[in-house]
A = this chain, B = another copy of it.
């Protein structure tokens, strides 16, 4: 199983429109520091699944037939906005798995076009090709699911955005799941009262709480990047920053 971070940005991304902080200036100068809408691609030899659809050029990135499914964490615009254009296309339907949410986003459910929305439920696993997905509840301002994904050769990956902390059942599941790597929401630098999203401390705590082998911080705002540039904090062992385009071969990380 191979995972690619296609986007690692919080809503608004990096650079943030109109912002002149050091992190946004750096991203304007060097595309390596850009953070696009938070999303990832999960691939095995024969299967390709997109987690979240906030990239606005999905129709250019993924020619017809190149995606086996889309899996959504939730229906906030920065996680689904790439579907608005794509849906009007022609061809084989694309299944889009997502949490129970009667509202969805704008008129996606009313006019799904070539998308076929399927609701998945917490702790009820489903399969896409050789991948087994277990939806895990998260704590956010809209119904949101993270996913524990098991691929060939016991490769395991958990993707938990957007969330502030973890419900006990999610932490319990992951503790007993076996060795895995984790992508976790880290939207804020250290903050007094984080809401709807993890700050730096809460993100690291999620990694510790679940016993992840490696914790990848993602869904990062320009404020996190700016704080990192000025504070240069030590990263706890096993914690790393995701960046757009970073590709992780999980079968190359044996337990």
Interface residues of A (CB under 8 A from B): 11-13, 16-19, 37, 56-57, 59, 64, 76-78, 81, 84-86, 88-91, 105-107, 113-114
A12 partner, pick from B11, B88, B105, beta carbons under 8 A: B88
A15 to chain B, nearest CB (A): 9
Q: Which residues of B contact A19 (CB under 8 A)?
A: 89-90
B12 engages A89 (CB within 8 Å): yes
With beta carbons under 8 angstroms apart, the residue of B12, B90, B105 that contacts A106 is B105
The closest CB in chain B to the CB of A88 belongs to B12
Q: Once bound together, how far apart are the Cα atoms of A76 and B105, in whole Å? A: 12
Q: Which 10 A-B pairs rank lowest in CB-CB distance, beginning with the nearest? A: A17-B89, A12-B88, A18-B91, A56-B56, A18-B64, A18-B89, A77-B84, A18-B90, A106-B106, A17-B59
For the complex, what is the distance from the CA of A77 to the CA of B84, rounded to whole Å?
A: 7
Whether A13 pairs with B78 at a CB distance below 8 angstroms is no
A85 touching B81 by the CB < 8 A rule? Answer: yes
Q: Chain A's interface: helix, strand, loop or mixed, by majority? A: loop
CB-CB under 8 A from A89, the residues of chain B are 12, 16-19
Expressed in whole angstroms, the minimum distance between the Cβ of A236 and any Cβ of chain B is 29
Task: Note all chain B residues with C-beta closer than 8 A to A114.
Answer: 17-18
Q: Which of the residues B11, B81, B85 comes within 8 Å of A13, measured between beta carbons?
A: B85
Would you list 30 pairs from A and B whose C-beta atoms are within 8 A, ordered by A residue? Answer: A11-B88, A12-B85, A12-B88, A12-B113, A13-B85, A13-B88, A16-B89, A16-B90, A17-B85, A17-B88, A17-B89, A17-B91, A17-B114, A18-B89, A18-B90, A18-B91, A18-B114, A37-B85, A56-B56, A56-B57, A76-B107, A77-B84, A77-B106, A77-B107, A78-B85, A81-B81, A81-B84, A81-B85, A105-B106, A106-B106
| Cα of A189 to Cα of B81 in the assembled complex, Å | 29
